[in-house]
Amino acid sequence: MSRLWFDVAHLLAGSMLVLSFALIYQDRIAAVVNVFALQAIALSLSVAWQALVQDAPHLMVTAAIALVVKGFVIPTALHQIIRRMEIHREVEEVIGSGLTMLTGLGLVALSILLVQPVGEVSIYVREDLAFALAVILLGLLMMITRRNAVTQVVGFMSLENGLVLAATGAKGMPLVVEISVAFSILIAFIVFGIFVFRIRERFDTVDVRALDRFRGDRRDVS
């Protein structure tokens, strides 16, 4: 029975990893937001399962926060931002999708190599940590290889999903810390929304290259 519990945990953690690859593969901003919502739902299911396995009811609160805030509230707000800013277009990429996917595969292999020497935990927990580290690195990769501010913040939130997955797989965090992290992300998202509207109003774009060009123009004038 315990082996079944770990198999389900691996299945849910693996689904988050697959959705991380789906995030860096998408070429439309709206599709990126939809995939992030699916990843958040997978995270909530994974945390809820860990709550049952570890007999930790407080993790159910974390699962509920992930489901409601990240699975529905934030994606809905992002879709509203996309509609109001009229940015229904392809994602600006630093490198091509094929090279990005290959880099992602390399990061997964790196995650396995980094977690493999850890001997203080069981092999099942070690595998969950490898999944979580891979999700974190893929979120960082998305932030690096995408120029659009919306997709970059989605990459940051995907990275944070990996951190929550790692913490719950390693016997969880205190409830106060989990709630504070969740509300910190929500507050950061609100600030980001205001910031993006300001950028759009000032530069008529959310492409970070426009900010670099503006900064270069300021130097030339000075």
Residues 92-118: tens digit of each pLDDT: 677 777 888 999 999 999 998 988 776
- Residues in CB range of 1: below 8 A, 6 or more apart: none
**Number of other residues whose CB lies within 10 A of the CB of residue 153:** 21
Task: For the chain, give percent helix, strand, coil, nearest 5.
Answer: 85, 5, 15
The closest alpha carbon to 161, from 65, 57, 28, belongs to 65
Q: Which two tokens stand for residue 91?
A: 């994602």
- Positions of E strands within the chain: none
State whether residue 211 is helix, strand or coil: helix
Q: Which two tokens stand for residue 51?
A: 């709550």
Write down the residue that tokens 């000032």 correspond to: 202
Distance, in Å, from the CA atom of 124 to the CA atom of 10, rounded to the nearest integer, reads: 8
**Domain containing 85: what range?**
2-221
Task: Report the pLDDT averaged over residues 35-44.
Answer: 94
For the chain, the C-alpha Rg in angstroms (whole number) is 18
The predicted model scores a pTM of 0.80
The closest alpha carbon to 173, from 70, 72, 51, belongs to 51
- pLDDT tens for 123-169 read 667 788 889 999 999 999 998 888 777 788 888 888 888 888 888 87
- Tell which wins on pLDDT, 179 or 161: 161
Counting the structural domains of the chain, the total is 1
State whether residue 69 is helix, strand or coil: helix
Distance, in Å, from the CA atom of 160 to the CA atom of 80, rounded to the nearest integer, reads: 22
